[in-house]
Amino acid sequence: MDDTPAWAPESIRQARADLSRLIEPGDLLGSLTVSALGAEPALDLIRSGTGPSDRVQQQVGEAAETAGLTARQRKLAPALERWRTRRGQTGHRRMLDSLRRRGGGLLIPEDAAWPRQLHDLGAAQPVALWFRVAPGESDPYIEAPARLPHPARSVAVVGSREMTDYGAQVAWETARQLAAHGVSVVSGGAYGIDAAAHRGSLEGADEEQRPAVAVLAGGVDRLYPAGNERLLHAVMDRGIIFSEMAPGSAPTRHRFLQRNRLIAALAAATVVVEARWRSGALSTAHHAMDIGRPVGAVPGSVHSASSAGCHRLLRHTPAQLVTDAADVMELVAADAAGVLAAPDGHPAPEGASKPLGESATDGLGDIDRRIYDALPVRSATTPSRLSEVAGLPIPHIFGALTRLERKKLVRRTTAGWGRAGYHPAPQSSG
Amino acid sequence: MDDTPAWAPESIRQARADLSRLIEPGDLLGSLTVSALGAEPALDLIRSGTGPSDRVQQQVGEAAETAGLTARQRKLAPALERWRTRRGQTGHRRMLDSLRRRGGGLLIPEDAAWPRQLHDLGAAQPVALWFRVAPGESDPYIEAPARLPHPARSVAVVGSREMTDYGAQVAWETARQLAAHGVSVVSGGAYGIDAAAHRGSLEGADEEQRPAVAVLAGGVDRLYPAGNERLLHAVMDRGIIFSEMAPGSAPTRHRFLQRNRLIAALAAATVVVEARWRSGALSTAHHAMDIGRPVGAVPGSVHSASSAGCHRLLRHTPAQLVTDAADVMELVAADAAGVLAAPDGHPAPEGASKPLGESATDGLGDIDRRIYDALPVRSATTPSRLSEVAGLPIPHIFGALTRLERKKLVRRTTAGWGRAGYHPAPQSSG
B429 has a pLDDT exceeding 70:
no
Can you tell me the distance from the alpha carbon of B6 to that of B13, in angstroms, rounded to the nearest whole number? 13
Contact A299 B315 (CB under 8 A): no
Query: A320 — contact with chain B (CB < 8 Å)?
Result: yes
In tens, the pLDDT along A367-380 reads 676 677 777 766 77
DSSP codes, A348-413: PPGGGPPP-SHHHHTT--HHHHHHHHHS-SSS-B-HHHHHHHHT--HHHHHHHHHHHHHTTSEEEE
In tens, the pLDDT along A37-55 reads 999 999 999 999 899 999 9
Q: Which residues of B touch A166 (CB under 8 A)?
A: 301, 303
**Residues A247/A220, Cβ–Cβ less than 8 Å:** yes
Measured between CA atoms, the residue of chain A closest to residue B325 is A302
| Residue A15 C-alpha from the chain's centroid | 20
Sequence-ordered list of residues with C-beta below 8 angstroms from that of A3, at least 6 positions apart, any chain? none
In tens, the pLDDT along A162-198 reads 999 999 999 999 999 999 999 999 999 999 999 999 9
- Please give the average per-residue pLDDT across A226-246, as a whole number: 96
- Please give the average per-residue pLDDT across B277-300, as a whole number: 95
In tens, the pLDDT along B196-230 reads 999 999 999 987 777 799 999 999 999 999 999 99
Measured between CA atoms, the residue of chain A closest to residue B321 is A315
List the CATH code of the domain at B350-419.
1.10.10.10
pLDDT of residue B421: 59
In tens, the pLDDT along A396-429 reads 677 788 778 777 788 776 667 777 754 333 233 3
pLDDT of residue B394: 65
Can you tell me the distance from the alpha carbon of B379 to that of B371, in angstroms, rounded to the nearest whole number? 15
pLDDT of residue A368: 76
Q: How far is CA B118 from CA B108, B244, B402, in A?
A: 11, 12, 11
Query: A346 — contact with chain B (CB < 8 Å)?
Result: no
* Domain residue limits, chain B: 10-90, 116-336, 350-419
When pLDDT is cut at 50, 70 and 90, the band that residue A256 belongs to is very high
Average pLDDT, chain B: 86
Measured between CA atoms, the residue of chain A closest to residue B322 is A315
- Residue B380: which of B312, B427, B316 has the closest Cα? B427
pLDDT of residue A5: 55
Query: A173 — contact with chain B (CB < 8 Å)?
Result: no
When pLDDT is cut at 50, 70 and 90, the band that residue A351 belongs to is very low
pLDDT of residue A306: 97
In tens, the pLDDT along A266-294 reads 999 999 999 999 999 999 999 999 999 99
When pLDDT is cut at 50, 70 and 90, the band that residue B83 belongs to is very high
In tens, the pLDDT along B289-315 reads 999 999 999 999 999 999 999 999 999
In tens, the pLDDT along B327-378 reads 999 999 875 544 333 333 333 333 333 333 334 565 676 667 667 777 776 6
pLDDT of residue A396: 67
Decide: helix, strand or coil at residue A258. Answer: helix
pLDDT of residue A120: 94
In tens, the pLDDT along A60-80 reads 999 999 999 999 999 999 999
pLDDT of residue B361: 60
B423 has a pLDDT exceeding 80:
no
Query: B312 — contact with chain A (CB < 8 Å)?
Result: no
Contact A315 B320 (CB under 8 A): yes
Query: B177 — contact with chain A (CB < 8 Å)?
Result: no
A130 has a pLDDT exceeding 50:
yes
How big is the CA angle at A192 (ends B324 and A303), to the nearest 5 degrees? 15
Architecture in CATH of A348-419: Orthogonal Bundle (1.10)
When pLDDT is cut at 50, 70 and 90, the band that residue A363 belongs to is low
Query: B298 — contact with chain A (CB < 8 Å)?
Result: yes
Q: Nearest Cβ partner of B314 from A170, A307, A321?
A: A321
- Please give the average per-residue pLDDT across A324-351, as a whole number: 59
Q: What ranges in B189-300 are assigned the alpha helix state H? A: 193-204, 229-238, 253-266, 280-290
Query: A72 — contact with chain B (CB < 8 Å)?
Result: no
Fold agreement (A116-336, A348-419): no
Contact B299 A311 (CB under 8 A): yes
Q: Greater confidence, A136 or A361? A: A136
| Domain A116-336 class, CATH top level | alpha beta
- Please give the average per-residue pLDDT across B404-419, as a whole number: 75
